[in-house]
Chain A
Amino acid sequence: MNWEAVVFWAMATLVLVPAFAIVFSRNIVHMAFWLLGTLMGVSGLYLLLGADFLGMTQIFVYIGGINVLLLFGIMLTRSEPVYVRRLAKRPKLAPGLIIGAFTAFTLVSALLGAGWRNVPGEPTETAGILGAFLLSEYILPFEIISVLLLVVLIGAAYIARRGSREGAE
C-alpha cells in the first residue's frame, strides 16, 4: 500500500462517515460540524486528484463561507431546542432509504464493472491554466456568474431585511 492509497482511504473515510452522520444525526449544530469534515475530505480528494486550486477554493468558499452561513442560519431560526425530529414521517422514510440503497448498488456495481483505463496523473500547477481558460474560452460564463453573484448579494440582503422592516412598521 503506497502513500497515495493511504491518503485516499483516510480522505474517503473523512468524507463518507460525516456524510452518513449528517443524514442520521439529531443535533443540528453537530450536523453543521459534521459537514465541515465532509467538505475538508472532498478538498483533500481534490488535492489528491491534482486539482490544487480547486482544493483551496473548496476550503475558502465552502468551509469559510457556506458552512459559517449555515451556522448563522441555525442560530437565527432556532425556535425550539437544537434537537430536530430525527427523520421524516413513516410513509416517506422507507421509499427514501430503499431508493437510495438500490441506486447506490446499481451505480457502484456499474462503475466497478466498467474497466477504466488507469491514467496516473502528473501533478501540475493548475491555477494558471484555469485562469487562462476563464479569460479565453469561458469568458462569457465567467462574466455572467460575476453578475449573478452581485445580484445574489443584493437580493439576499433585501429578502432577509424586508421582514424586519415590515415587522417594525
Chain B
Amino acid sequence: MQTQAYLVVATLIFLIGAMGFLIRRNILVLFMSIELMLNGAAMLFVTFSRQLRQMDGHVFVFFIIALAAAEAAVGLSILIAIFRLKHRVNVDELTELKG
C-alpha cells in the first residue's frame, strides 16, 4: 500500500482527536481524544520509519506508548481526586484555577 494512504489515515486520526478535544466537555472524553491524537502521531512515526528504512521511529513510538500509559494513569487518578472533591467531570464547570 502506498505511503500516502497511511499518512492520510494518521492525519485523519489526529484531526478527529483534536476536533474531539475542542468540542467535547467531559474529561474522560478529552482523555480518549488525547489517545487518538497520540495514536495518529505514532502512526506517522511508523510510516516514515518504513519509508526511510530506519528503525528510530519505532523506538519513538515505543516511548510514546509508555508515555501515554503514564499520562492515562496520572490523569485518571487526578480525575478521581477532583471527582471526590467536586462531584463533577465537566471541564466547563471546573474553573477553580481560573483566578
Contacts and interface: CB of A to CB of B under 8 A. Distances in A.
24 contacts: A15-B13, A22-B20, A22-B32, A23-B16, A23-B23, A23-B33, A28-B28, A42-B42, A45-B6, A74-B28, A77-B79, A85-B90, A87-B23, A89-B25, A92-B22, A111-B7, A119-B50, A119-B51, A133-B58, A145-B63, A148-B70, A159-B77, A160-B77, A163-B81
Interface of B: 1-9, 11-13, 15-20, 22-26, 28-29, 31-33, 35-36, 39, 42-43, 46-47, 49-51, 53, 55-56, 58-59, 61-63, 65-70, 72-74, 76-81, 83-85, 87-90, 92
A23 B20 contact: yes
Nearest to A114: B4
Chain B interface SS verdict (over half) = helix
Contacts of A76: 80, 83
A118 B77 contact: no
A45 B9 contact: yes
A70 B12 CA distance: 23
Contacts, number: 231
A54 B29 contact: no
Contact of B19 (A5, A32, A97, A148): A97
B87 to A, nearest CB: 5
Contacts of B20: 22-23
Contacts of B68: 61-62, 66
Contacts of A4: 1
Interface in A113-167: 114, 116-119, 121, 126, 129-130, 133-134, 138, 141, 145, 148-149, 152-153, 155-157, 159-160, 162-164, 167
Chain A interface SS verdict (over half) = helix
B66 A145 contact: yes
Given A61-B69, A156-B77, A50 B18 contact: no
A72 B76 contact: yes
B12 A16 contact: yes
Contacts of B70: 148-149, 152
B39 to A, nearest CB: 5
